[in-house]
Amino acid sequence: MTESKTVRNAGSRTETGSSFGRGKNSDSNQAGLMIEPRQHLLDLDDLSAAEITGLLNSAEGMLEIAGRDVRKSPALRGKTIITMFFENSTRTRVSFEQAGKILGADVINVTASASSTSKGESLLNTVKTLQAMQIDGLVVRHPHSGAPYFIAKHTDASVVNAGDGTHAHPTQALLDLFTARRHLGDLAGKKIAIVGDVLYSRVARSDIIAFQKMGAEVVISCPNTLLPDEWKPGSIHGDETGFGGLTVAKSVDEAVEDADVVMPLRIQQERQDAGHLPSLREYSNRWGINAARLSTARDGALLMHPGPMNEGVEVSSEVAHGAQSVVEEQVRNGVAVRMAVLYALCAPSRSSRNGGRNGG
């Protein structure tokens, strides 16, 4: 059993400057947000609570637009956004495409298998090629942690991290915050239980940072084999990592008890070759979120899951589709949140975003 403890360190931080990097020009983003113009969204670690709140408030307006019968806004008309996915995705890729199109942008999807990377072109040359086409936004999913930071150094376009390796998934965290806030109101003091494959989960890392920035108490629970070394007892921790204050529960039951949000994480079966789990059945019995476990959370607690779900493994089907589940709402909200992000990043002119730098 893992001792219940508060983490003061952690983080697989990758090379970075500003993760939601500021453009040099203070041109208004025209969204009425409480945020400065930014060029990129690579992680949430250097966004303030006010900036996150600004994005969430903007997403409320976007949700109204996305819910209209005729869902079209000219906000990003004339802008070109490329989604470049080097890893499979359903939710993130489709919702970014939908978000861009609702805002009037031209959205072009590139998959690794259909791009010249499959012929051996380097990531750098791929980015330089796209850069030459004067794109405004580049939404990137990549299996390697840090790849979006590398790309951001070599393009004038706004780069959005759509999930990089085990590092970060900032728009998933924003949509999780957005969904929780719509049900629970102010998230300060709320207990968020994150259960499962923390070791490989970029969603967990971004969610821990995001919920803690909003004042929530985040408690994680997982088998010792799926707990990152830097969060184990005896580590040296610092609040500046964004993980300070994180609690590692003694048991899944301790994590879920009185929680306002219960979030099982997908067991990433494709990354389990290292033998972290004796069997999925064992995992499901000991760590799976089922009706009995969920009943110990607060009345009206939300069952959230970033998807895709392994029903019967980390979450029972009964709970996944039960009255407390907001999983489909998370997906719906993801479009509005990504609209807010694309608008905040891509609405300003390219020259105002990058201070006239031609880069590349």
Binding site for ligand CP (CB under 6 A): 89-92, 163, 172, 306-308
37: cis peptide before it, omega within 30°? no
Placement of tokens 């890729």 in the chain = 93
CA 160 to each of CA 34, 73, 143, 321: distance values in angstroms, whole numbers, following the listed order: 19, 21, 15, 31
For ligand CP, which is the closer residue by CB, 35 or 302?
302
Quote the tokens at residue 251: 């048991």
Closest approach of ligand CP to the CB of residue 226, in Å: 18
For ligand CP, which is the closer residue by CB, 147 or 248?
147
Placement of tokens 């964004």 in the chain = 242
Closest approach of ligand CP to the CB of residue 197, in Å: 13
For ligand CP, which is the closer residue by CB, 169 or 353?
169
As a whole number of angstroms, the distance between CA 70 and CA 27 comes to: 30
Closest approach of ligand CP to the CB of residue 119, in Å: 25
In contact, 339 and 61? CB cutoff 8 Å: no
As a whole number of angstroms, the distance between CA 85 and CA 143 comes to: 9
Closest approach of ligand CP to the CB of residue 163, in Å: 5
As beta bridge partners, residue 220 has 194, 248
As a whole number of angstroms, the distance between CA 223 and CA 272 comes to: 13
Quote the tokens at residue 187: 């998230």
Rounded to a whole number, what is the distance in angstroms from the first to the last CA of the chain? 50
For ligand CP, which is the closer residue by CB, 37 or 170?
170
Amino acid type, 21? G
For ligand CP, which is the closer residue by CB, 61 or 307?
307
Q: Sign (positive/negative) of CA torsion 85, 79, 14, 210?
A: negative
Closest approach of ligand CP to the CB of residue 334, in Å: 8
For ligand CP, which is the closer residue by CB, 137 or 163?
163
Closest approach of ligand CP to the CB of residue 42, in Å: 16
